[in-house]
Amino acid sequence: MPASLPPPRRVRARLRRRPAGDNSGRMVWLFDLDNTLHDASHAIFPAINRLMTAYVARVLGCDEATASRVRVDYWQRYGATLLGMIRHHGVDPADFLRAAHEFPALAGMVRVQRGLAAHLRRLPGRKLLVTNAPQDYARAVLDIAGIGHCFERVVAIEQMWVHGHLRPKPDRRMLRRLLVQARVAPHRAVLVEDTVSHLKRYAGTGIRTAWVTGYLRTMAPSRPHDVPGAPTSAQDDSSRRDAAVRSTLEAEEDRRAGHAAQEHSVTLVAAESQVPQAQSGNVPRVRARVPNRPAYVDIKVQSMHQLQRRMRRNGS
Ligand SMILES: [Mg+2]
């Protein structure tokens, strides 16, 4: 090709997207978004939960209590309400996700750690965002958090179709394909996540795992064993709260026995795991009890600041 010709469009696009910060080093970071880079437990997850329940009620033509039960069932069987809705009701995933992530006041709902952009920029290595959320939402959160420029690519749920099937995290095929596309050997990749069951699922694929615990919250009592309409008047009392947390842990333990993929799901505090809005107004939110680092977790940190300091100290 003559030197005077401009580079092909694809190359120009890649040059334009070169992210800010320290991209040196051999590591490639695959960052989750919600509750990893920002506090989604605060307002966003409860809102997503509400919107999902309303969507299911609309599609099924039922009340919200019934919709909540259906969601619990799908969450337990398939790991996500969406997958059950696709399988049994033929919903359009894009429509579902759009409806579940419509926030007119998103800017006021995003909470980030001070200095987050600087921490990410200083972390050596390439950075990709890999989220089960939709692309528009992910980019909006990144913009609000002021960290969009740190990532060379945003891999959202729309990019997680594999051979005609939607394969969100923690699907191994989806991640393997992503690593091939990004030209990353598995041993150079680090998945940074709050959802420890995802990390467990990817253990054994060769990638490294970092567990971020700082934003983990649970609600007491948690789904799926909460009783709609149960008395809540004494829930501010700390002993009641402790008892509820213990109950949550026990129930999660029971469920874990029947569903290997959801091991340690007491810390899987995603929108899916929170109580329906009908009860959430009266339910105290408490910090999750974080267990010790499981063997399949390579790094356990509370925050991006801690991760950046640790990796720079180790010279990675
Ligand atoms: Mg997350």
112 CA distance to ligand 1 centroid (A)? 14
Residue 71 belongs to some domain of the structure: yes
Domain span holding position 34: 22-41+109-215+293-314
Residues 211 and 194: beta-carbon distance below 8 Å: yes
Statement to judge: residues 165 and 305 lie in one domain: yes
Please check the confidence at residue 15 and state whether its pLDDT lies above 60. Answer: no
Lowest mean pLDDT among 1-5, 67-71, 97-101, 106-110: 1-5
270 CA distance to ligand 1 centroid (A)? 7
Q: What is the CATH number for 150?
A: 3.40.50.1000
37 CA distance to ligand 1 centroid (A)? 8
CA distance 248 to 235: 14
CA 153 to mean position of chain CA atoms:
17
Tally of domains in the chain: 2
In this prediction, residue 81 carries a pLDDT of 86
303 CA distance to ligand 1 centroid (A)? 13
**Higher local confidence (pLDDT), 247 or 8:** 8
Selection from 73-77, 187-191, 306-310 with the highest mean pLDDT: 187-191
pTM: 0.73
2 CA distance to ligand 1 centroid (A)? 47
Per residue in 217-230, pLDDT (tens digit) is 754 333 432 323 33
265 CA distance to ligand 1 centroid (A)? 12
226 CA distance to ligand 1 centroid (A)? 23
Residue 131 belongs to some domain of the structure: yes
> What percentage of the chain carries pLDDT values higher than 90?
48
Lowest mean pLDDT among 91-95, 191-195, 286-290: 286-290
**Higher local confidence (pLDDT), 95 or 4:** 95
Residues 264 and 257: beta-carbon distance below 8 Å: no
Please check the confidence at residue 302 and state whether its pLDDT lies above 60. Answer: yes
272 CA distance to ligand 1 centroid (A)? 11
Per residue in 163-202, pLDDT (tens digit) is 998 888 989 999 999 999 999 999 999 999 998 889 999 9
Helices (H), the chain: 9-16, 44-60, 64-78, 81-89, 93-100, 116-122, 135-145, 172-181, 196-202, 238-258, 277-280, 304-314
Statement to judge: residues 222 and 177 lie in one domain: no
